[in-house]
């Protein structure tokens, strides 16, 4: 939970979904109204996710009353979303059609009988009232509280226009305002749909077996330990462990991986994933609110409430900017007439300045971009935990990678087998049988290789097994004593190693491989090289990052030789080996001193200190690992580094769009205000300037939905 909602004290926090927010300003007013409700101790609105968190007792009816000024609809957080009417059929938009027809009819009447005639004036007045009714209600309420937002400024401007006889223009402004508000609602809904679509991923019911009975039940009633039956073509409703069956699951919704993954007994599966071919029985391990999908949705919604640095700047700026505009408009309306100017002309200019000055586009410039980018990332299997992290990722100059489990698979595998006399399968069987008794981490790699080749090493009788500390093991097989261990063990046993074998050992070690030797007291029979395999995507990802000007550094506790071999293979710009966890931490601090913006990519467990010290901590494999979800600023939900260049690209694009939005919002206002000098600023130019800016800022932000890998 973000700091903002955490501040609400932990006493019973209730979340509701809100439908109908158009601007950040309206959300702030709604928040104040909810705080004033009887029984409510505190409230916090999350505009990006369209939610309100309430501490205290209240009802949905009361909340809707608090949001009546914006005609907000409230529903319980868990309630299914109501299908909205098509955009063109919505009640708010029907008023716009009637108002527009009245405006056109009045304009024709004005052409026929002259602008001064009573008929066009009545038509314009009716158009203003129908189209601007809800606007006036909001505006007058705000005026009584001395709140200066868009509605207040528009209300003053339209009433002023009517008072100085500009009925036609007042009506045009109302229509333009209503149209642009409707379009803004449409655009914001579009930006939020990326989160709404995440919620619809998992089914709301599942087929559960309890005892001998099978039944369809709602996910809220499913308990941990229930057996869920998932047929081919169905989506999983809950997280769990497979207890029967094998199938391929499409996990794209959670991890962003497009390639389906095979799951079988004892493997973890997630709600929202699609079962493609086999029948699975899954033991439910988490309640519906604790599933990985629920966590993702919760974290994404919280992330949208986190203010990005540019948003904090804009909010502060808008706070001082609006009163300055109101004073400026007043001065323009009053001072020139005192020096002989025409009152109606300058009052009109002052009213136009009020409309231009509204900071709507500016206030919405950052949140819409942040909401859209975070939503897009979540759909692609990347969890960005706040606007601040989104912006920081766009500034990155260097990325440090943990080696084991990040650039490599973290599982040692046999890479080479060299045989000196005898049969390869026979010798591998003997080695695996002896290593079965060993605790050495590389033993499992040899046993896996033997299993892959279908060798039956479990039936081999091993006698007199003995560990030789730090060097290897020895044991009797078929009455012959075999040794398995490091080259150093055989140098000790044989006095020296033949030059061709010695050369081969050195060559493999230079490639970063660990060499194990099988032999007897007299001869070396085979060399087995084991190495931690590099992930298929590592080289490509590092190449892409280097190409976009990011310094890549590999950090590892391994020795310099192994580190350098792997570092060269993947293509990192710098390699740091023999590091303890605190050394990693110190190196990150050093890197920050040099570059300021530095990311650390790790698996979120042993890299926690370094992840915390970096500007942006990126955890691998967020799906299924709570540590990664909790400690990192960005979690790559699949164990796939290829999402990293996409994340950097998205963040950089978001930064560009936020800058464009802020610059454009301010520039368009400045141009419109300069039109006051020659007296060219009209009310409808003013409304076009303000609403055009808001709309363009929103549409510009929606371009972030198109950023692909």
List residues with catalytic annotation.
402
What are the structure tokens assigned to 388, written together?
Answer: 């601040």
- Which residues contact residue 116 at a Cβ distance below 8 angstroms, ignoring those fewer than 6 apart? none
- If 0-12 CB within 10 Å is exposed, 13-18 middle and 19+ buried, where does residue 459 land? exposed
Question: In b/e form, how buried is each residue of 367-404, taking b as 16+ CB within 10 angstroms?
Answer: bbbbbbbbbbbbbbbbbbbbbbbbbbbbebbbbbbbbb
Task: Give me the DSSP letters along 591-655.
Answer: HHHHHS-EEEEE-SSTTHHHHHHSSEEEEE--TT-HHHHHH-SEEESSS-TTHHHHHHHHHHHHH
Q: Are 636 and 644 in contact (CB under 8 A)?
A: yes
Pick from 620, 640, 648, 582: which is nearest to 397 by CA? 648
* Distance of alpha carbon 409 from alpha carbon 131, whole angstroms: 63
**Cβ 101 vs Cβ 143: under 8 Å:** no
Q: Determine the Cα–Cα distance for residues 144 and 454; give it in Å rounded to an integer.
A: 84
Q: Report the alpha-carbon distance of residue 420 to residue 81 in Å, rounded.
A: 70
- Among 394, 387, 393, which Cα is nearest to 310's? 387
Q: How long a stretch of residues is the chain? A: 709
Q: First vs last Cα of the chain: how many Å apart?
A: 29
> Token match 């928040």: residue?
31
What phi and psi values does residue 359 have, to the nearest 5 degrees? -85, 25
Token readout for 696 is 């363009």
* Phi, psi for residue 269 in degrees, rounded to 5: -130, 155
Residues 6 or more apart whose Cβ sits within 8 Å of residue 476: 462, 463, 464, 482
Q: What is the DSSP letter of 235?
A: B
Task: Measure the CA–CA gap between 605 and 626, rounded to whole angstroms.
Answer: 10
The partner residues of 582 in beta bridges, in order of sequence, read: none
Using alpha carbons, select from 574, 577, 534 the residue that is nearest to residue 550.
574
Strand (E) or helix (H) holding 365: helix 360-379
Give me 176's structure tokens.
């333009």
C-alpha torsion sign, points 688, 693, 698, 701:
positive
Q: For residue 558, report the phi and psi dihedrals to the nearest 5 degrees.
A: -70, 165
Task: Please give the angle made by the CA atoms of 141, 144 and 148, to the nearest 5 degrees.
Answer: 80
Nearest CA to 578 among 599, 560, 602, 601?
560
- Which tokens go with 421? 């006399």
């Amino acid at each position: 939970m973000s700091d903002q909602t955490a501040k609400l004290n932990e006493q019973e926090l209730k979340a509701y979904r809100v439908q109908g927010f158009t601007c950040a300003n309206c959300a702030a007013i709604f928040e104040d109204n909810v705080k004033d409700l009887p029984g409510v101790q505190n409230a916090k609105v999350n505009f990006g996710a369209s939610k309100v968190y309430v501490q205290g007792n209240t009802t949905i009816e009361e909340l809707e009353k608090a949001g009546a000024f914006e005609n907000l609809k409230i529903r319980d957080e868990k309630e299914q979303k109501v299908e909205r009417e098509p955009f063109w059929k919505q009640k708010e938009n029907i008023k716009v059609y009637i108002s527009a027809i009245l405006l056109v009819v009045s304009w024709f009447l004005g052409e026929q009988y002259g602008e001064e005639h009573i008929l066009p004036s009545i038509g314009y007045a009716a158009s203003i009232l129908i189209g601007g009714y809800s606007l006036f209600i909001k505006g007058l309420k705000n005026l009584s509280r001395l709140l200066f937002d868009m509605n207040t400024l528009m209300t003053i401007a339209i009433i002023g226009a009517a008072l100085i006889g500009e009925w036609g223009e007042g009506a045009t402004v109302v229509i333009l305002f209503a149209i642009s508000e409707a379009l803004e609602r449409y655009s914001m809904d579009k930006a939020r749909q990326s989160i709404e679509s995440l919620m619809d991923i998992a089914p709301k019911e599942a087929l559960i077996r309890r005892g001998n009975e099978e039944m369809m039940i709602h996910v809220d009633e499913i308990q941990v330990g229930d057996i869920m039956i998932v047929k081919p073509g169905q989506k999983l409703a809950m997280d769990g462990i497979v207890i029967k069956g094998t199938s391929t699951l499409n996990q794209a919704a959670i991890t962003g991986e497009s390639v389906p993954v095979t799951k079988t007994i004892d493997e973890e599966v997630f709600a929202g994933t699609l079962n493609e071919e086999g029948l699975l029985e899954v033991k439910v391990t988490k309640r519906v609110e604790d599933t990985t999908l629920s966590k993702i949705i919760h974290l994404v919604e919280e992330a949208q409430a986190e203010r990005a640095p540019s948003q904090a700047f804009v909010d502060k700026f808008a706070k001082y900017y609006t009163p300055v505009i109101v004073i400026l408009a007043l001065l323009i309306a009053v001072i020139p007439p005192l020096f002989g100017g025409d009152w109606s002309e300058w009052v009109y200019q002052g009213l136009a300045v009020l409309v231009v000055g509204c900071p709507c586009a500016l206030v919405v410039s950052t949140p819409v971009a942040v909401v859209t980018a975070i939503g897009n990332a979540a759909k692609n299997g990347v969890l960005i935990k706040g606007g601040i992290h989104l912006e920081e990722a766009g500034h990155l100059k260097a990325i440090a990678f943990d080696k084991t489990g990040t650039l490599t698979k973290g599982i040692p595998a046999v890479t080479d087998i060299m045989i000196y006399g005898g049969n390869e399968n026979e010798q591998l069987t003997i080695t695996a049988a002896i290593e079965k008794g060993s605790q050495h981490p590389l033993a499992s790699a040899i046993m896996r290789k033997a299993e892959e080749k279908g060798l039956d090493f479990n039936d081999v009788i091993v006698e007199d097994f003995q560990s030789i500390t730090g060097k290897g093991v020895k044991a009797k097989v078929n009455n012959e004593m075999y040794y398995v261990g490091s080259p150093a063990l055989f140098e000790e046993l044989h006095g020296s190693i033949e030059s061709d074998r010695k050369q081969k050992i050195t060559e493999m070690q230079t490639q970063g491989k660990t060499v194990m030797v099988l032999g007897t007291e007299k001869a070396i029979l085979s060399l087995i090289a084991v190495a931690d395999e590099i992930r298929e995507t590592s080289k490509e990802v590092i190449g892409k990052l280097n190409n976009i000007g990011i310094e890549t550094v590999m950090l590892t506790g391994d020795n310099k030789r192994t580190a350098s071999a792997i570092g060269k293979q993947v293509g990192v710009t710098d390699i740091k080996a023999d590091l303890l966890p605190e050394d990693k931490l110190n190196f990150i601090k050093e890197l920050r001193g040099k570059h300021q913006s530095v990311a650390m990519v790790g698996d979120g467990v042993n890299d926690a200190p370094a992840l915390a010290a970096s500007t942006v901590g990126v955890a691998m494999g967020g799906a299924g690992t709570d540590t990664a979800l909790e400690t990192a600023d960005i979690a790559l939900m699949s164990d796939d580094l290829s999402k990293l260049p996409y994340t950097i690209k998205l963040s950089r694009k978001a930064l560009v769009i936020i800058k464009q939005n802020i610059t454009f919002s301010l520039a368009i206002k400045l141009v419109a205000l300069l039109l006051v000098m020659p007296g060219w600023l009209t009310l409808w130019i003013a409304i076009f300037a303000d609403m055009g800016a808001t709309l363009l800022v929103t549409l510009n932000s929606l371009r972030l939905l198109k950023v692909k890998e």
